[in-house]
């Protein structure tokens, strides 16, 4: 970096007056600015590597502590490649190839100007050789050319972290796509000299795809499917290496009023991510993982395959906020779903919560309010219920379960001849009222999708289910509005 560039960089920082950590200067006038940059440039020339330390690496979603040093040092990074069977989803296993034993690989954090001595060790029980291409490296193959490591061997190479930013690293051993598809990727953050503004929480989130022999949710140890990888049709799109790695008890957390910084990578191998947090707005985005906080107030940010983004936001209200790839079938049907749980007091002036529930029927149907008596529901004969139910079925269910109830293999279970439905038609009421997710077996096939609860009246749901039980070759059965009311009451 030339002296001139440095002056401009500093000037920009001063003009915007962005608070920076560890920046010893406050610039208030052009003269001060000039002298300060001269001093800085002088220090710059002397930025000699001092001392030596071992990098502390973390598994996702943890991030190593920010760097307090204001000088470059020699950093020793030790990373081990492994091949091992692990959980991809409930009941689904996969042979992951890893950097550091988990997918994604361990998070590496160094400072701009550091001399990184990289030790790559391949476990003796590995079957494959591996290497590493760090996008933070200026040099052939990003280090891959110097790090080809056979099972039971170790290699060492060094690089100076010239450019700050958030970078992907990945294995680049042939077939490259397969090594990446099997889990060989992670993030390395090269902190700019002046550091990042302080925040309360930092997390590591990595999106990637898995291409398995079986469809989404199909149990057992799943092999890699090269054909699907070539077609770019993954069965799984996940955060941090598996379905559910960031949900429920594994959710990342924050308290109301705190600032959160997410270091988000997209390892691909094929898809571009439209990263979004439902119910939050990114106050700041460092687009593509560069070091300029160059966009504000962003809903979704595009993260290329082999790229990254840094997003920051303050959490203002409590609740669960979903991290998704807004290519939304990936989120709700392929696994690209995480959770941020925010604890704290309700903030009704920012978000009220539900204030009132009303029944709404569009113009012509008349507006009905829930007060006093409910409108009487006409009593229908069995045949009328089935007819009315058929109409409602085509509007509310056929899109997924198909017009003849035959379902779609691997995605939507059949209602025609469904042993699951016919075994317990009362259970079906709960499914329609509350929705259903998690693995179920219908006629010997496992389904693991998400069915949203349906917002219909008790009698409408009774009519639909009565229709279903008397159609598509199903023998018979009748569901009453009172049955639905009972199931609804159990929910509360």
Residue 432: name its binding partner from ligand HEC, Cu ion, none (Cβ under 5 to 8 Å by kind).
Answer: ligand HEC
Find out whether 470 and 413 touch, Cβ atoms under 8 Å: no
Task: Dig out the tokens for 376 from the structure.
Answer: 């009487």
**Distance (Å, rounded) from C-alpha 143 to C-alpha 118?**
9
Query: How many whole angstroms from its chain centre is CA 126?
Result: 29
- Does 416 bind ligand HEC (CB under 6 A)? Our answer is no
| Binds Cu ion by CB under 5 A, chosen from 171, 205, 310, 429 | 171
Per the CB < 8 A criterion, the answer to whether 261 and 202 are in contact is: yes
**Stretch 427-466 residues interacting with ligand HEC (CB under 6 A):** 428, 431-432, 436-438, 440, 442, 447-452, 454, 464
User: What angle is formed at CA 236 by the lines to CA 252 and CA 96, rounded to 5 degrees?
Assistant: 80
Choose among ligand HEC, Cu ion, none what residue 184 binds, the Cβ cut-off being 5 to 8 Å by kind.
Cu ion
CA neighbor of 444 nearest in space, from 464, 421, 418, 468: 418
Q: Which of 179, 228, 261, 276 binds Cu ion (CB under 5 A)?
A: 179
412 binds ligand HEC (CB under 6 A): yes
The yes or no reply on residue 399 touching ligand HEC (CB under 6 A) is yes
For residue 171, the partner it binds in Cu ion, ligand HEC, none, with Cβ less than 5 to 8 A by kind, is Cu ion
**Quick one: what does residue 428 bind among Cu ion, ligand HEC, none, with the CB cut-off 5 to 8 Å set by partner type?**
ligand HEC
Q: What number of chain residues touch ligand HEC (CB under 6 A)?
A: 29
Interface pick for ligand HEC out of 415, 429, 462, 484 (rule CB under 6 A)? 415
Residues 177-206 within binding reach of ligand HEC (CB under 6 A): none
Whether the Cβ atoms of residue 303 and residue 282 lie closer than 8 Å to each other: no
CB-nearer residue toward Cu ion: 83 or 280: 83
Report yes or no: 263 and 206 within 8 Å, Cβ to Cβ: no
Q: Does the N-terminal peptide bond of residue 243 adopt cis geometry, omega within 30 degrees of 0?
A: no
DSSP state of 372: S
Helices 425-434 + 458-469 axis angle, to 10: 130
Which stretches of 312-424 are DSSP H helices? 329-333, 382-396, 398-401, 419-423
Q: Which does 182 bind (CB under 5 to 8 A by kind): Cu ion, ligand HEC, none?
A: none
Q: Tokens 């590493």 label which residue? A: 132
Please identify, using beta-carbon distances, which residue of 270 and 418 lies nearer to ligand HEC.
Answer: 418
Residues binding ligand HEC (CB under 6 A): 396-397, 399-401, 412-415, 418, 420-421, 428, 431-432, 436-438, 440, 442, 447-452, 454, 464, 468
Residues binding Cu ion (CB under 5 A): 130, 171, 173, 179, 184
């Amino acid at each position: 970096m030339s002296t001139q560039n440095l002056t401009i960089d500093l000037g920009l920082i001063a003009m915007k007056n962005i608070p920076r950590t560890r920046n010893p200067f406050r610039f208030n006038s052009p003269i001060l600015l000039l002298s300060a940059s001269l001093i800085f440039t002088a220090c710059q020339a002397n930025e000699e590597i001092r001392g030596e330390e071992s990098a502390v690496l973390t598994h996702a979603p943890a991030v190593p502590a920010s760097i307090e040093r204001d000088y470059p040092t020699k950093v020793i990074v030790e990373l081990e490649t492994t091949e091992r069977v692990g959980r991809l989803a409930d009941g689904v296993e996969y042979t992951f190839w890893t950097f550091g034993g988990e997918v994604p690989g361990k998070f590496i954090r160094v400072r701009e100007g550091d001399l990184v001595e990289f030790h790559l060790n391949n476990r003796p029980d590995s079957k494959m050789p591996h290497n590493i291409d760090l996008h933070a490296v200026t040099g052939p193959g990003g280090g891959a050319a110097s790090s080809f490591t056979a099972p039971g061997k170790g290699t060492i190479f060094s690089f100076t972290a010239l450019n700050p930013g958030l970078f992907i690293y990945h294995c680049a051993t042939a077939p490259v796509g397969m090594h990446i598809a099997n889990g060989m990727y992670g993030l390395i953050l090269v902190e700019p000299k002046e550091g990042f503004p302080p925040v309360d929480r930092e997390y590591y989130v990595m999106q990637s795809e898995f291409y398995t022999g079986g469809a989404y949710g199909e149990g057992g140890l799943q092999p890699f499917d090269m054909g699907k990888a070539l077609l770019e049709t993954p069965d799984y799109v996940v955060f941090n290496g598996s379905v559910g790695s960031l949900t429920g008890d594994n959710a990342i957390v924050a308290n109301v009023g705190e600032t959160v910084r997410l270091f988000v990578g997209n390892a691909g191998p094929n898809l571009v991510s439209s990263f979004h947090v439902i119910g939050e707005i990114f106050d700041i985005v460092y687009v593509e993982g560069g070091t300029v906080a160059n966009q504000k107030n962003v809903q979704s940010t595009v993260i290329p395959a082999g790229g990254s983004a840094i997003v920051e936001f303050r959490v203002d209200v409590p609740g669960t906020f979903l991290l998704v790839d807004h290519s939304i079938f990936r989120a709700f049907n392929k696994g690209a779903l995480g959770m941020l749980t925010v604890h704290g007091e309700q903030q009704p002036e920012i978000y009220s919560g539900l204030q009132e529930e009303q029944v709404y029927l569009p113009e012509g149907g008349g507006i009905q309010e829930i007060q006093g008596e409910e409108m009487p529901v006409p009593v229908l004969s069995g045949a009328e219920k089935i007819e009315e139910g058929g109409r409602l079925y085509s509007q509310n269910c056929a899109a997924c379960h198909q017009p003849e109830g035959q379902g779609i293999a691997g995605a939507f279970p059949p209602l025609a001849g469904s042993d699951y439905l016919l075994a317990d038609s009362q259970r079906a009421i709960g499914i329609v009222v509350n929705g259903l997710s998690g693995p179920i077996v219908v006629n010997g096939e496992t389904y693991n999708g998400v069915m949203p609860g349906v917002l219909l009246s008790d009698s409408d749901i009774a009519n639909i289910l009565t229709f279903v039980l008397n159609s598509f070759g199903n023998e018979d059965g009748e569901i009453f509005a009172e049955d639905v009311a009972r199931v609804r009451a159990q929910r509360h």
